[in-house]
């Protein structure tokens, strides 16, 4: 069973089979006919009504999907029974876990430091360049953060798993 939250309204969804073309939505049976146009575009017929669906974006960590149904955009939050149990037990999901530091993925030489203490960085931003095995490797931010401290200096040799930068 899944729970889909759309516009702050929750729907319990269960499927009858692996094809997911029939089941129940909040206790009401449904049957759909799905035609896939491409990886992000679908045409669905349900209860003699036609729906054109375009997937705009997906965030697997936050378990959200933004879709356009007949030119109306909706953001859907999806969770499973396991997510519900984990939340009840107070176990945080992966998206709330933040790294507090950047560690060297391999031994190498720091050839450039591209940030300063206090900088706001975004996921995917280059933080520093580590030369290892005659190759330059850009170490990138795995999340949005603020640079708290830079532990190493340009020209430093580092070992695998050595802390290079810490985040707030």
Work out the percent of the chain whose per-residue pLDDT is above 90: 60
How many Å apart are CA 104 and CA 100, to the nearest integer?
Answer: 14
The pTM score is 0.49
pLDDT over threshold 80, residue 91: no
pLDDT over threshold 70, residue 95: no
Q: What is the pLDDT of residues 39-89, one digit of tens each?
A: 899 999 998 999 999 999 988 777 889 999 998 898 999 888 787 777 777
Where are the domains positioned within the chain? 2-91, 101-167
- 101-167, which class in CATH? mainly beta
At residue 165, the 3 state secondary structure works out as strand
């Amino acid at each position: 069973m899944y729970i889909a939250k759309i516009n702050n309204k929750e729907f319990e969804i269960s499927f009858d089979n692996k094809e997911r073309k029939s089941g129940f939505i909040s206790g009401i049976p449904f049957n759909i006919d799905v035609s896939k146009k491409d990886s992000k575009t679908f045409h669905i017929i349900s209860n003699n009504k036609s729906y054109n669906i375009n997937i705009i974006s997906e965030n697997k960590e936050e378990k959200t999907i933004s879709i356009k149904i007949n030119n109306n955009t909706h953001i859907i939050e999806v969770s499973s029974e396991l997510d519900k149990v984990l939340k009840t037990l107070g176990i945080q999901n992966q998206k709330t876990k933040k790294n507090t530091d950047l560690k060297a993925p391999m031994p190498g030489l720091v050839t450039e430091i591209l940030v300063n203490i206090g900088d706001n960085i975004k996921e995917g931003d280059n933080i520093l360049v580590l030369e290892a095995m005659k190759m330059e490797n850009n170490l990138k931010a795995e999340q949005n953060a603020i640079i708290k401290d830079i532990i190493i200096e340009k020209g430093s040799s580092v070992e695998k798993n050595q802390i290079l930068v810490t985040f707030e």
